[in-house]
C-alpha cells in the first residue's frame, strides 16, 4: 500500500485531537448495546477504539496508515486487557476482507470523507455490508457542510495551537481551505509553525483532500448499499440534525436485501 495520507502527521495526531473527546461516550454506548464484536474503519491511533476495548468489548480497528496504527499498537501492547480485546489491521476501508462479521461497524471523525468518489464510498459500504451481521448497526460521522463557507470557496482558518509533549514545542496551526463545488471536495493546505530550541522559526506543510456530503445524498448512498436509516443526529448528544449542526451522524441498520434503490 502506498504511503498513507495520515503517515505524515501521525506523530502529532494525538496532541492535535487531545480535546476532541465528546464523541467517545456515544460510540461506547452503541458498542455496549450492540452485544457483539465491533469494527472501526479508519481507527487511527485508537482514540475511540481504546475506550470501547476498555469496556471489555472485542474490537477490530482497520486503518490505511501504518504510522497511525503503530501508535495504536503501542497503546494496546502496554495493557493486558487491551491486548485481549483489540485486533489491529492494516488495510483499506474500500477493499477489506476480514473473514468475520460484526454487530457494529462505525467510521468516526469523518474518516469516511477520505473516500473522494462515489465509487470508493460505495465500495466501502459494500464491504461494510458483507462484514455486518443481519440487522447489524453502521454509524458514519460526517461534518455538516456549512453553506456560508461553501459560498466563499476559499477560507483561511486559525486552528489554534497545541503542545507537542514529546519535543516540548508549542505548535500553531493555520490552514487555507478551498472548496471544489463541482467535485464536492475540500482541499486544505495546513501550516504547522513553531520555534526550535534556538528560537528559529520552523514550518511544516500538510495538504489533503476530503469529500463533503449532504444529508440526503448520504441517506440515498446508505440506502442504495442496503442500509435502513434509523437516525440522523446533529451532535453526539443525539440532538436531531438541523441547519446549525456541526455533524451529520448516520445510524443505520443492515437490511436483509442489498440495494433497495437500483
Ligand X SMILES: C[S@@+](CC[C@H](N)C(=O)[O-])C[C@H]1O[C@@H](n2cnc3c(N)ncnc32)[C@H](O)[C@@H]1O
114 scored as a contact of ligand X (CB under 6 A) = yes
Running DSSP on this structure, what letter comes out for residue 240? Answer: B
Size of the site for ligand X (CB under 6 A): 21
Candidate residues 6, 129, 233, 250; the one interacting with ligand X per rule CB under 6 A: 6
Q: What does the per-residue mask of binding to ligand X show for 34-63, with x meaning CB under 6 A?
A: --------xxx--xx-------------xx
Question: Stretches 64-72, 181-189, 232-240, 246-254: which one binds ligand X (CB under 6 A)?
Answer: 64-72
**Grid coordinates belonging to 131:** 462484514
The pairing of strands 154-164 and 169-180 is: antiparallel
Q: Does 159 bind ligand X (CB under 6 A)?
A: no
> What binding mask, one character per residue, do residues 78-97 give for ligand X by CB under 6 A, x or -?
--------------xxx---
User: 68 or 76: whose CB is closer to ligand X?
Assistant: 68
The C-alpha torsion from 260 through 233 and 86 to 89, rounded to 10°, is 50
E strand intervals along 46-200: 59-63, 86-90, 102-107, 132-143, 154-164, 169-180, 185-195
DSSP letter for each residue of 93-115: TTS---S--EEEEEE-TTGGGG-
Interface contacts to ligand X, rule CB under 6 A: 4, 6, 17, 42-44, 47-48, 62-65, 68, 92-94, 108-111, 114
Amino acid at each position: 500500500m502506498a504511503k498513507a495520507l495520515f503517515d505524515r502527521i501521525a506523530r502529532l495526531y494525538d496532541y492535535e485531537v487531545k480535546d476532541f473527546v465528546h464523541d467517545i461516550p456515544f460510540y461506547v454506548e452503541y458498542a455496549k448495546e450492540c452485544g457483539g464484536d465491533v469494527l472501526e474503519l479508519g481507527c487511527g491511533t485508537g482514540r475511540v477504539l481504546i475506550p470501547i476495548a476498555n469496556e471489555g468489548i472485542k474490537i477490530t480497528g482497520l486503518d490505511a496508515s501504518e504510522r497511525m496504527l503503530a501508535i495504536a499498537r503501542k497503546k494496546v501492547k502496554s495493557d493486558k486487557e487491551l491486548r485481549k480485546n483489540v485486533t489491529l489491521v492494516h488495510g483499506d476501508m474500500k477493499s477489506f476482507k476480514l473473514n468475520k462479521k460484526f454487530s457494529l461497524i462505525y467510521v468516526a471523525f469523518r474518516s469516511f470523507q477520505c473516500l473522494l468518489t462515489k465509487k470508493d464510498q460505495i465500495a466501502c459500504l459494500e464491504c461494510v455490508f458483507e462484514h455486518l451481521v443481519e440487522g447489524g448497526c453502521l454509524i458514519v460521522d460526517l461534518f455538516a457542510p456549512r453553506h456560508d463557507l461553501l459560498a466563499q470557496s476559499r477560507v483561511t482558518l486559525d486552528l489554534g495551537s497545541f503542545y507537542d509533549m514529546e519535543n516540548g514545542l508549542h505548535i500553531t496551526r493555520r490552514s487555507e481551505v478551498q472548496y471544489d463545488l463541482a467535485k464536492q471536495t475540500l482541499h486544505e493546505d495546513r501550516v504547522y509553525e513553531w520555534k526550535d530550541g534556538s528560537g528559529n522559526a520552523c514550518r511544516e506543510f500538510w495538504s489533503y483532500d476530503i469529500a463533503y456530503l449532504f444529508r440526503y445524498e448520504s441517506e440515498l448512498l446508505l440506502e442504495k448499499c442496503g442500509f435502513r436509516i434509523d437516525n440522523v443526529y446533529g451532535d453526539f448528544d443525539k440532538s436531531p440534525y438541523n441547519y446549525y449542526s456541526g455533524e451529520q451522524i448516520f445510524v443505520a441498520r443492515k437490511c436483509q436485501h442489498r440495494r433497495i434503490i437500483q
